[in-house]
Amino acid sequence: MSRAKALLVSAATLVFARRRRPTLKPGERERIVVPEAPAGYDAELVAIWLFLASAACAIGFVVVYALDRLPAHTQLLGLALGLSLAFLAAGLVVMAKRLVPNEELEEDYPEQEHTAEQERIAQVVEESGLTRRRLLLGALGAAGGSLGLALLAPAASLGPAIHMARFYLTPWRRGTRLVDEQNRPLRADEIEEKNFYTAFAEGADKERLPSSLVVVRLRRDQLDLPPGNAGFDADGIVAYSKICTHAGCAIALYRAPLFEPTDPKPALVCPCHYSTFDPSSGGTVTFGPAGRKLTMLPLEIDPKGFLRARGNFDEPVGPSWWGVRLKGPTT
């Protein structure tokens, strides 16, 4: 141990001390770095050990990487690399604090401004004569501006920016069956109270916002649909768009009261910003930031007992934009 230490010190002294010795005889030239580098042999030794530890950890990283069978691979890799960098940082800090000359210098801030140069620039521009040719500059500006606009025009190809018809489009029409995530048609008698079902338009792309529904069954005495949604339920089963009208997340929470009347009324809640909708009254907002009621789909039960749409939604689906109230959904 002590031999190794002695070796290291002598090696380091050889390397560093030789560098530090000025090549010219003292007195021949003034030093630029005024304070001499501190001798700091102890600090030097500490730094050397830290750098060696850093190297060891870096090699450890490669070893861990190469050994497939180690458990907790990510943790060991992170530890090895992190420690290697940490030792490197520590060594560099020892270097900065103890081994390099500790200079604190003064310097004048740069000039605030160069008045003469400013004047000369203005003069050159003026003497070019261009600034007097207003019309010419105006025309040049018009060319530049128009060209800029022209080059921006192809950006309109990115998407249908003018025609917003697709935003009103839904896959629902009278008779569309409700299916579950496995495309199995939903039967009215499998919809239970205090439960929450996700349904889709049969044959539609499930990822499109208007395709998905939340379906719940309420007791008849709970139902209080406004005139606009009268008859939208099928035997107490109501269906709403699953997409929150606030910020487009899926309504994923159903608060079915367990202890009436202590608990609040049934509510459909979006987990993003907690917009809360009342399924018994046509999807009105009872709390949270949503600015429109939840979109409702009229239902019916076909002779075989399957749930079907009895028409389209009462309003466009999903988050609001300037045109969301201008017209109803289309098929």
Partner 1 sequence: MIRGIVRFLDERTGSAPFLRKTLRYLFPDHWSFLLGEVALYAFVVLVATGIYLTLFYEDSTATVIYHGGYAPLQGHEMTHAYRSVLDLSTNVKAGLLIRQTHHWAANVFVAAIVLHMLRIFFTGAYRKPRELTYWIGLTMLIVSLLEGYLGYSLADDLLSGMGLAIGYSVAMSIPFIGGNLASLIWDGPFPGSHAFFPRMYIVHVLVIPLLLATLLTVHLVLVALKHHTQFRGERESERKLVGVPTFPGQAPRSLGLLAATAAVLFLLGGLVQINPIWLWGPFHTYSATNGAQPDWYLGWLIGALRIVPGFDLTIGSYTLVPNPFWGGALLPLAFFGFLYLWPFIERSFLTHDYGYHNLLDRPRDAPWRTAIGMAVLTEVFLVFLAGSADRVDVFFGLPYVPQVWAYRVLVFVGPVIAALLGYGACVELQRGERVDRERKRAERLARGEA
Q: How far apart are CA 231 and CA 235, in angstroms?
A: 9
201 binds partner 1 (CB under 8 A): no
Looking at 75-83, 135-143, 225-233, 301-309, which segment touches partner 1 (CB under 8 A)? 75-83
252 binds partner 1 (CB under 8 A): yes
Selected binder of partner 1 within 6, 89, 121, 143 (CB under 8 A): 89
Contact (CB, 8 A) for 280 and 223:
yes
Residue with tokens 């009621």, as numbered in its chain: 293
43 binds partner 1 (CB under 8 A): no
Residue with tokens 């003034």, as numbered in its chain: 30
Contact code string over 118-137 relative to partner 1, x by CB under 8 A: --------------------
Residue 163 is classified by DSSP as: -
Helix (H) or strand (E) holding 309, with range, is strand 307-309
Contact code string over 297-326 relative to partner 1, x by CB under 8 A: ---------------------xxxxxxxxx
255 binds partner 1 (CB under 8 A): no
Question: Smaller CB distance to partner 1: residue 8 or 285?
Answer: 285
**∠ CA 186-187-189 to the nearest 5 degrees?**
140
85 binds partner 1 (CB under 8 A): yes
Question: Smaller CB distance to partner 1: residue 118 or 287?
Answer: 287
188 binds partner 1 (CB under 8 A): no
Selected binder of partner 1 within 28, 30, 104, 117 (CB under 8 A): 104
58 binds partner 1 (CB under 8 A): no
Q: How far apart are CA 195 and CA 94, in angstroms?
A: 65
Q: How far apart are CA 210 and CA 172, in angstroms?
A: 8
Question: Smaller CB distance to partner 1: residue 159 or 303?
Answer: 159
- Minimum CB separation of residue 148 from partner 1 in Å reads 18
198 binds partner 1 (CB under 8 A): yes
81 binds partner 1 (CB under 8 A): yes
Q: How far apart are CA 195 and CA 219, in angstroms?
A: 12
Contact (CB, 8 A) for 317 and 242:
no
Residues 22 to 41 in contact with partner 1, rule: CB under 8 A: 33, 37
Q: How far apart are CA 274 and CA 310, in angstroms?
A: 29
Contact (CB, 8 A) for 289 and 244:
no
Question: Smaller CB distance to partner 1: residue 67 or 140?
Answer: 67
Q: How many CB atoms lie within 10 A of CB 115?
A: 9
Q: Which two tokens stand for residue 307?
A: 């749930």
265 binds partner 1 (CB under 8 A): no
73 binds partner 1 (CB under 8 A): yes
Looking at 9-17, 208-216, 254-262, 303-311, which segment touches partner 1 (CB under 8 A)? 208-216
Looking at 101-109, 116-124, 145-153, 218-226, which segment touches partner 1 (CB under 8 A)? 101-109
Q: How far apart are CA 29 and CA 12, in angstroms?
A: 27
Q: How far apart are CA 264 and CA 280, in angstroms?
A: 12
Q: Which two tokens stand for residue 44?
A: 């030097």
209 binds partner 1 (CB under 8 A): yes
